[in-house]
């Protein structure tokens, strides 16, 4: 299957070069081809994220998550090839993850056709709804190997890329000449490439403003709202993966599943964002509240927040990416690269957990793991603390090392406290 992916993408890249007639070619990190009349250009890029995990299960008297002992090791977390550009005033972008072992459609990430409209940019295809600061930040730029709990990795329950219509708008604010106001809106299916489009619909909006925007000092305020409505018996859930592995540990905090005849769940989620940088110091805080409801069942509310900080030991400053109201990594100031220390704390809890409901609050992996006997599950909360080191050897290569300690609190049923040491070699072009 991966051979088919590679052949398809290679054909796509050759077609792009042929259409441009190879009039001019340049390299700006990737490969860019432009036609002589300026009506067509194509940029080829990619990324390699090669990871390892060393997992340390909890060996407490009540919990023994020893089943994760053998799930560490080396693997490709991401292996992207991308093609994007302009064609007669229309934009396009296709991104395929070759590390996805499913069908070629399942490996699609961003894949859309775009056009300027009313001062903004319209996306038609597969894209991310504008849900939170860490979710919108590129996985090439995030502080840790995995995103925080205010993301598809947590409270949005795996809902990242969606098929639909997306629009973003930027304008100059009152205090600065730069584009420091961002608005994003989207309507989408609760599905992405390789999945049926009948899983339901969602609606989303995000607003952000940067009242301070300078080279080494900026401040960001933002928030988003999402309303997801499942259909045809599909599930909506919230959870968190405190560390990532192909068979690593995850926690389900809330889960609702409908039936093919109706009673399908929906979730309304609000998020708030605060971020800023002052010289080498970067700070970020996000919170979210998700209300899950379904006819015939009591609703449940999930609260979550994440706090992150980093410090460039080599003097760089975290830049603000105004076009998406997110961050990007600093370019190294020195020949030996840039060194960044990072710290994060996440917390998420179900405020309305039905007492003893093991199906709502239980580790979803490793397979076969069940909570210990001797107490009812009368609490459902999780937290994790992570510390990391990022070494940017140059603008294309980054080495990452994270240590994460998680805690799952099930009340009378006890606690689970897994740990992980994780690393990544990352190359982007």
> pLDDT tens for residues 384-393?
999 999 999 9
Beta strand 338-350 with 266-278 is: unpaired
* pLDDT of 239 above 70: yes
pTM of this structure: 0.88
180 has a pLDDT exceeding 50: yes
Assign 3-class secondary structure to the chain.
CHHHHHHHHHHHHHHHHHHHCCCEEEECCCEEEECCCCCEEEEEEEEEEEEEEEEECCCCCCCCCHHHCCCCEEEEEEEEEEEEEEECCEEEEEEEECCCCCCCHHHEEEEEEEEEECCEEEEEEEECCCCCHHHHCCCCCCCCCCCCCCCCCCCCCCCCCEEEEEEEEEEECCCCCCEEEEEEEEEEECCCCCCCCCCEEEEEEEEEEEEEECCCEEEEEEEEEEEEEECCCCEEEEEECCCCCCCCCEEEEEEEECECCECCCEEEEEEEEEEEEECCEEEEEEEEEEEEEECCEEEEEEEEEEEEEEEECCCCCCCEECCCCEECCCCCCCCCCEEEEEEEEEEEEECCCCCCCCCCCEEEECCCCCCCCCCCCCCCEEEEEEEEEEEECCCCEEEEEEEEEEEEECHHHCEECCEEEEEEEEEEC
The pair of three-digit structure tokens given for residue 339, joined into one six-digit string: 């060194």
> Is pLDDT at 338 greater than 60 in this prediction?
yes
CB 150, CB 290: distance < 8 Å: no
Contact status, residue 208 vs residue 218, Cβ threshold 8 Å: no
Q: What's the rounded Cα separation, in Å, for the pair 109 and 32? A: 21
Q: Residue 259: exposed, middle, or buried by beta-carbon count in 10 A (0-12, 13-18, 19+)?
A: exposed
The encoded tokens of residue 420 equal 């992980």
Cis peptide before 366 (omega within 30 of 0): yes
Residues 6+ apart with CB under 8 A from 27: none
Residue range 41-60, pLDDT digits in tens: 999 999 999 999 888 776 66
Q: What is the reported pLDDT for 415?
A: 79
The band of 419, judged by pLDDT with boundaries at 50, 70 and 90, is confident
Domains (ranges, CATH) in the chain? 2-428 (2.40.160.10)
pLDDT beyond 90 at 354? no
Task: Give the model's confidence band at 356: pLDDT under 50 very low, under 70 low, under 90 confident, else very high.
Answer: very low
| Residues 279-329: tens digit of each pLDDT | 999 999 999 999 998 887 778 899 999 999 999 999 999 999 998 999 999
Q: How far apart are CA 230 and CA 57, in angstroms?
A: 35
Query: What's the chain's average pLDDT?
Result: 84
């Amino acid at each position: 299957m991966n051979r088919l992916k590679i052949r398809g993408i290679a054909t796509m890249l050759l077609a792009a070069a042929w259409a441009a007639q190879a009039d001019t070619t340049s390299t700006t990190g990737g490969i860019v081809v432009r036609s002589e009349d300026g009506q067509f250009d194509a940029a080829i890029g990619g990324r390699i994220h090669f990871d390892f995990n060393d997992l340390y299960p909890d060996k407490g008297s009540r919990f023994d998550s020893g089943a994760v002992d053998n799930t560490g090791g080396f693997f490709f977390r991401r292996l992207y090839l991308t093609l994007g550009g302009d064609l007669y005033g229309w934009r396009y972008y296709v991104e395929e993850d070759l590390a996805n072992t499913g069908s070629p459609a399942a490996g699609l990430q961003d894949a859309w056709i775009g056009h300027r409209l009313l001062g903004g940019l319209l996306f038609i295809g597969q894209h991310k709804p504008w849900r939170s600061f860490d979710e919108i930040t590129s996985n090439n730029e995030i502080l840790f190997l995995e995103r925080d709990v205010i993301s598809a990795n947590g409270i949005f329950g795996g809902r990242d890329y969606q098929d639909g219509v997306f629009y973003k708008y930027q304008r100059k604010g009152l205090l600065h000449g730069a584009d420091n106001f961002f608005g994003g809106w989207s309507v989408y299916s609760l599905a992405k490439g390789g999945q049926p489009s009948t899983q339901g619909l969602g609606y989303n909006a995000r607003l952000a403003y940067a009242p301070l925007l300078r080279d080494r000092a900026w401040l960001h305020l933002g928030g988003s709202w999402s309303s997801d409505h499942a259909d045809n018996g599909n599930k909506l859930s919230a959870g968190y993966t405190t560390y990532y592995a192909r068979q690593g540990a995850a926690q389900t905090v809330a889960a609702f599943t409908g039936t093919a005849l109706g009673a399908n769940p929906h979730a309304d989620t609000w998020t708030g964002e605060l971020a800023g940088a002052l010289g080498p110091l970067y700070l970020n805080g996000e919170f979210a509240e998700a209300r899950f409801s379904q006819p015939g069942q009591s609703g449940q509310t999930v609260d979550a927040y994440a706090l992150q900080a980093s410090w460039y030991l080599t003097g760089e400053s975290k830049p603000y990416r105004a076009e998406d109201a997110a961050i990007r990594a600093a370019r190294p100031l020195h020949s030996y690269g840039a060194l960044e220390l990072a710290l994060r704390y996440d917390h998420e809890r179900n405020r309305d957990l039905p007492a003893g409901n093991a199906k709502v609050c239980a580790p979803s992996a490793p397979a076969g793991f069940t909570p210990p006997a001797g107490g009812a599950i009368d609490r459902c909360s999780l937290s994790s603390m992570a510390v990391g080191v990022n070494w940017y050897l140059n603008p294309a290569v980054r080495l990452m090392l994270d240590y994460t300690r998680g805690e799952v609190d099930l009340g009378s049923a006890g606690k689970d406290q897994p740990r992980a040491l994780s690393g990544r070699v990352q190359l982007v072009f």
